Chains A and B, each alone.
Chain A
Amino acid sequence: MGPYLLRRVFNALLVIWAAFTISFCLLYLLPSDPISMMLSAEGAGGGGAANISSEQYHLLAERHGFDRSPFEQYLYLLGKAVHGDLGVSMQSGKTVVAQIADVLPETLKLAALSLLLAMVLGVSIALTAGAFSSGLLRSLLLALPPISMALPTFWIGLILLQIFAFKLHLVPSLGNRGFASLVLPACTLAIPTAALIAQTLTKGIDDAMALPFVRVLKAKGVPRRTIYFRHVLHNAAIPTLTILALIIGNVFAGAVVTETVFSRSGAGRLLQSAVDVQDIPVVQGLVLMMAVTYAGVNLVADLLYPLLDPRIRRGAGGVGGEA
């Protein structure tokens, strides 16, 4: 257990470091001039790159570290990031960490509620469909996930707004106004997530049903219900656990669109507005936050595998250990 844990923690750190490096390469090394971008972002009121002296330009470049060679910049930023300093937003001048911390609670609320809804919806679809091996109900239920995966998230949000906020006046339409304003965004995010959960779990159930031990249990006369709930589900949960981090990543990515549609403040909206004005430190900070979340969730999933799968506990096989 000890070496297993150590390897997993090391792996998580590696993912975070690599995400930092890749985001650095994409954001800082592509041919773009961050200083002029920053100035044109501020320069709506008559500023802009044309209006500043080259001296001021270099001063700004020095303050943000753009005057050094790419590799030095990388080491400088990495060193800062290790100490929890992700730089300063080019747009607002506040630190990136403070800006993310400001809006994160709203996104966490949204993500938590939508994950809960998605779990309930996805698991109930998969369980009901899995209980029947054929039939109309199963076909109907299994047709749902592919259809909901074809729906653009922004469209789901707008349709829900149209129906529940504007036609029926059940909930406030926009903004962060308590629980009522959280319901529609959470439903919007939950639909594609539920589809993903339902699909993975159904596949898991079908695969587990086909395993020889199910036949043995049937031959021994174990009731169908016991086989299904005690043995099959146990096995089917493992692939779903594997995609947990993927699901959470999708929820966060979906939050970019959802928070924009519902004009909610949150990490997704922050990312959208940062991309709008090409505020590169904020974009990198949010990507890094995503990588930390992903690595953290995967670490938790890795710690849960041995509890679910005795083969990993005994170190005999690796069902999803090497992710």
Chain B
Amino acid sequence: MSEALLSASAQIPPTSDGVEVVSAAADSRLKGYVPRWLGLGLAAAFIGMVALWAIFPQIFTAGDPFAGNITARLQPPSTLHWFGTDNLGRDLFTRVVYGTSLSLKATVVALLIAFVTSSVIGVVAGYLGGVVDEIVMRVVDVLLAIPQLLISLMLISALGFGTINIALAVGIASIASFSRVMRSQVLRVCASPYVEAARSYGAKWYVICFRHVFPQARGPVSALVAIEFGSAVLSISALSFLGYGAVPPTPEWGNLVADGRNYLATAWWLTTIPGLVIIITVIAVNTIGRAFNRTGGAQ
């Protein structure tokens, strides 16, 4: 994984001038090529596995995420219990696998909300322009001034707890940044001649917006979704860690880490391993997102 990141950073073109730099850049691109694809493959494989954990958890583990075995409490990782067991003797690997479903669902819901809402806001503000645009963008500016976690916490204190509510909170909190990108794309597309042509033959404004402008403008926002996937996973696990997600016996990645808090001195694996799963997921998703962005940028 770190190899992939190394090669990704080696892709940043050297900034000094001269002919030799050009050849150096080509050289490093050649050297970075193999590890980059290797890293991308590993990332895709990991994400594929995590997605399967979410959909078919029973394939990966025969255990029950809620059934404890009191004789096997707080056992360190072993061949029998890959991730160890918790204070009630429940297998941590089983709980992580079963927790994936809620954590990933929340992430997908959050991004879907952010994408759909910001598309509408961005298209309408960008296309209509004038006062509407001015007001919407002012509100967006202010929302961008408040850290996303605070907006999420505000929403949670109004909506209440639960996995769906944290997904809503994270989704709504990221609308501002998505809308801004969407609007700037819409402004760019609206200036193109074919939009003017559509207007000239009398197409309705909503037809122009959603048939002609939106499909052209959504590319960079989709790329942003890929990039934001990782931070959505992080935000959702943080809110779940704080205890606003699923109610305790139900596993989620964030509350699994929180469950291990009381056993820091004796059972390192309870916090470390679920955390590592989150981290590797985020790094893998970011690797894929960056690759997606690179190819998207080339088109």
Where the two chains meet, the residues of A that have a C-beta atom closer than 8 Å to any C-beta of B are 14-15, 18-19, 22-23, 26-27, 30, 32, 133-134, 138-140, 142-143, 146-147, 150-155, 158-159, 161-162, 165-166, 173, 206, 209-210, 215, 245, 249-250, 252-253, 256-257, 260-261, 271-272, 274-276, 278-280, 283-284, 286-287, 290-291, 294-295, 298
Q: Does B292 contact A (CB under 8 A)?
A: no
Name the 9 nearest CB pairs between A and B, nearest first: A155-B275, A253-B147, A18-B142, A253-B149, A142-B9, A30-B158, A150-B282, A166-B265, A209-B15
Residue on B nearest A232 in the bound complex, by CB = B15
Chain B interface, number of residues (Cβ within 8 angstroms): 58
Q: A26-B155, A27-B154, A133-B16 are in contact. Are A155 and B146 (CB under 8 A)?
A: no
Contact, CB under 8 Å: B155 / A19:
no
Contact, CB under 8 Å: B147 / A249:
yes
Contact, CB under 8 Å: B154 / A152:
no
Residues of B contacting A298 in the complex (Cβ-Cβ under 8 angstroms):
145
| Closest chain B CB from A175 CB (angstroms) | 15
Bound together, the chains give a CA A158 to CA B276 distance in angstroms of 12
Bound together, the chains give a CA A283 to CA B268 distance in angstroms of 34
Report B230-285 residues with CB < 8 Å from chain A CB: 230, 234, 237-238, 241-244, 254, 257-258, 260-261, 264-265, 268, 271-272, 275, 278-279, 282-283
Report B142-174 residues with CB < 8 Å from chain A CB: 142-143, 145-151, 153-160
Bound together, the chains give a CA A260 to CA B282 distance in angstroms of 23
Question: Which of A23, A140, A154, A252 contacts B147 (CB under 8 A)?
Answer: A252
Bound together, the chains give a CA A18 to CA B137 distance in angstroms of 12
Q: Does B87 contact A (CB under 8 A)?
A: no
| Closest chain A CB from B238 CB (angstroms) | 6
Where the two chains meet, the residues of B that have a C-beta atom closer than 8 Å to any C-beta of A are 2, 5-6, 8-10, 12, 14-17, 21, 24, 28, 138-139, 141-143, 145-151, 153-160, 230, 234, 237-238, 241-244, 254, 257-258, 260-261, 264-265, 268, 271-272, 275, 278-279, 282-283, 286
Residues of A contacting B260 in the complex (Cβ-Cβ under 8 angstroms):
158
| Closest chain B CB from A259 CB (angstroms) | 11
Residues of B contacting A284 in the complex (Cβ-Cβ under 8 angstroms):
154
Residues of A contacting B8 in the complex (Cβ-Cβ under 8 angstroms):
146
| Closest chain A CB from B174 CB (angstroms) | 14
